[in-house]
Amino acid sequence: MTKRLAPVVLGLAAALALTACSAAGSTTAGGTAPAGSSTAGGTVNAATATSLTAFGSLENLAAAAKKEGALNVIALPRDWADYGEIIDAFKAKYPGITVNEASPDASSAEEIDAAKTNKGLDTAPDVFDVGLTVALQSTDHFAPYKVAGWNDIDSSLKEQSGLFTGDYGGYMSIGYDSSKYPAPGQLSDLLKPAYKGAVAMNGDPTQAGAAFAAVGMAAVQSGGSLDDYQPGIDFFGKLQKAGNLLKIDVTTATVADGETPVVFDWDYLNATHVKDNPAWKVVVFPGNGYAAYYNQAVNKDAPHPAAARLWEEFLYSDQAQNLWLKGGARPVRATAMQKAGTLDEALWSKLPPAPATTLVPSDAQSKKAGDLLGQEWAAAIS
């Protein structure tokens, strides 16, 4: 993967709607097909296909996927970046393919664990949606695949052989119940007694991408950098000592019932809670804004390899990219779609304003931070 110099400082358009670049052309794959992989374009081994070219057409890929009859997804809450509508749109477009939705609240690390535990079984996940740190640690579980829109995706947001690819992104933010808590104007406000036992994060930062980003945001807001997450870890240690850290994983249910009233999470996820609590507000702190993308990958041991690849093609289509945008996330093909006139501009205009500086971690920075968290996190919040 192309390494970016650290720290990475980008404007909003560059960071979250990156300009299309010239990337390596898609490769093809063929071979002896296993049962169920014959298409109108010939015999294809779906498990080794590295691009749509291997199938000859999207219609041929869809035919192979329908023959498999199922797709296993994991860790996709239906209220996360509009994934519910995306899944339903896929089922409507490709009737006959049953979408099995496993463990919607699982972390990125737990997705990989599920692949290990269920390897060789029909219940194994076909695809993954993971944070960058987990993606970098898990490439031996991924099959290279380049979607038809590969050239629309900036080279810094994809592993160059197609093992994983950025899909949608956002800013780390604070969501809070404004009927019970004051608006935090800066990170240090969360250390005040007003937030006693109230501040939660979305998962464990050693396993979950959103929680990892919360520590990253705390770092760049506390004098640290993308190369130094220690100030972020130290901040959460202070939050724990102040009695303000709430060790409950955030879900829609915990927010709706008031169990997690102040939340570190992606701006597009925090924004969804307004429907359950009209007093819920979202803040992206000024100054240094922490942004990142999640990543798509195909399980190399996918029980439904054609359906896995069809799902990837759908996710990077204009239809699904606009659905992510509808969910408040920034789709990775946004700039190319703007140029083509296929981006929903009304939805794009509703995205919250960006902070003055956008910081996006590189793969090397994410790995370094992940190693540090593995060593320091447990002790910091004990």
Of 105, 101, 102, nearest to 114 by C-alpha is 102
Does residue 20 carry a pLDDT above 70?
A: no
Query: By three-state DSSP, how is residue 36 classified?
Result: coil
Per-residue model confidence (pLDDT) at position 209: 86
Which of 21-25, 58-62, 84-88, 183-187 shows the lowest mean pLDDT across its residues?
21-25
Residue pLDDT, tens place only, 212-221: 999 999 999 9
Residue pLDDT, tens place only, 31-51: 333 334 555 445 899 999 999
Does residue 272 carry a pLDDT above 60?
A: yes
309 and 282 within one domain:
no
Q: Which residues does residue 98 pair with via DSSP β-bridges, in sequence order?
A: 70
* Dist CA 230 CA 253 (whole Å): 31
| Higher-scoring residue by pLDDT: 235, 35 | 235
* Dist CA 147 CA 214 (whole Å): 30
Of 291, 262, 37, 311, nearest to 156 by C-alpha is 291
CA-atom Rg of the chain in angstroms = 20
How many structural domains are present in the chain? 2
Does residue 22 carry a pLDDT above 70?
A: no
Does residue 29 carry a pLDDT above 70?
A: no
Per-residue model confidence (pLDDT) at position 28: 31
Segment 180-197 mean pLDDT: 98
Query: By three-state DSSP, how is residue 378 classified?
Result: helix
User: In the chain, count of helices (H) and strands (E)?
Assistant: 14, 14
Report residue 207's pLDDT band, with 50, 70 and 90 as the boundaries: confident
Does residue 25 carry a pLDDT above 80?
A: no
Report residue 2's pLDDT band, with 50, 70 and 90 as the boundaries: very low
Phi, psi of 188 (to 5 degrees): -65, -20
Q: Is the peptide bond before 95 cis (omega within 30 degrees of 0)?
A: no
Which of 171-175, 206-210, 260-264 shows the lowest mean pLDDT across its residues?
206-210
56 contacts 39 by C-beta, under 8 angstroms? yes
Per-residue model confidence (pLDDT) at position 208: 87
| Higher-scoring residue by pLDDT: 102, 107 | 102
Share of the chain above pLDDT 70, in %: 89
Q: Which residue has 């937030």 as its token pair? A: 195
Does residue 267 carry a pLDDT above 70?
A: yes
Ramachandran quadrant class, 343 (left: phi over 0; alpha: psi -120 to 50; beta: rest)? beta
196 and 71 within one domain:
no
368 and 227 within one domain:
yes
Q: Looking at the domain assignment, is residue 20 inside a domain? A: no
pTM of the model: 0.79
48 and 164 within one domain:
yes
Q: Looking at the domain assignment, is residue 331 inside a domain? A: yes
Per-residue model confidence (pLDDT) at position 336: 96
Beta strands in the chain (DSSP E): 9-10, 38-39, 42-43, 70-74, 98-102, 127-130, 142-143, 165-177, 199-201, 262-266, 280-283, 288-299, 330-331, 357-359
For the chain, helix, strand, coil in percent to 5 are 40, 20, 40
Report residue 27's pLDDT band, with 50, 70 and 90 as the boundaries: very low
240 and 271 within one domain:
yes
Q: Looking at the domain assignment, is residue 4 inside a domain? A: no
CATH number of the domain enclosing 328: 3.40.190.10
* Dist CA 229 CA 220 (whole Å): 8
Residue pLDDT, tens place only, 151-178: 999 998 999 999 999 999 999 999 999 9
40 and 86 within one domain:
yes
175 and 164 within one domain:
no
85 and 29 within one domain:
yes
Q: Looking at the domain assignment, is residue 19 inside a domain? A: no
Range of the domain at 184: 170-291+357-380
373 contacts 215 by C-beta, under 8 angstroms? yes
246 contacts 239 by C-beta, under 8 angstroms? no
* Dist CA 72 CA 123 (whole Å): 7
* Dist CA 116 CA 34 (whole Å): 22
Q: Looking at the domain assignment, is residue 14 inside a domain? A: no
32 contacts 45 by C-beta, under 8 angstroms? yes
Beta strands in 178-273 (DSSP E): 199-201, 262-266
Segment 77-84 mean pLDDT: 94
